[in-house]
Amino acid sequence: MSKASKILGISSQALRNWDNTGKIKTVRSAGGHRRIPISEINRLLGKSPDYTRTTTLVYARCSTAKQTENLDRQVGRLLEFCLKNKWDPELHKEIGSGLNENRKELHRLLKRISDKDVKRVLLEYKDRLTRFGFSIFEKHCAAFGVDVVVIEDKVDIPFEQELANDMVSLITSFSARMYGRRGGRKKK
């Protein structure tokens, strides 16, 4: 925010107000800080857009807070992969079920895909993004010219086994939700 405010010659508070009213697009970091893409700064300055795609959207997820250590290791592997390939990463990580379609970071990721600076989305496994509908996500990315890179592709399993695994995942998730065991009980 401070760098953008210096470049634009306005206060950081004015930028926050513009973000709140929708005059500019910002991206939230994993820590909740606002980031203003260079494309937005160029747009505000009236510069011709530079469509050089360099940003790699890195997405990591685990299902429960008990798996936070696993999430941290997942993030480390993904960022190491970016470093090895000299990619410019933007991290999106969260805790939530792969069946839950109301995940904040997933929504931010989907929104960011349409930005002109995004080159690719990096995942460790397909199911880290979603349990179902991954091909729809790939088509969405392709519509904006964004590649999807999955580091670890699972071994091909027979259709019947995959279907059985999906059914068990659905039943487990919904029964846990029904009985209030997923993610802990509400505290009074």
User: Catalytic residue numbers?
Assistant: 63
Report the distance separating Cα 30 and Cα 35, nearest Å: 11
By three-state DSSP, how is residue 114 classified? coil
Name the residue among 92, 116, 119, 118 with its Cα closest to residue 106: 92
Torsion of Cα atoms, 28 then 31 then 33 then 38, to 10°: -50
If 0-12 CB within 10 Å is exposed, 13-18 middle and 19+ buried, where does residue 157 land? exposed
Q: Do 15 and 24 form a contact (C-beta atoms < 8 A)?
A: yes
Residue written as token pair 């998730």: 173
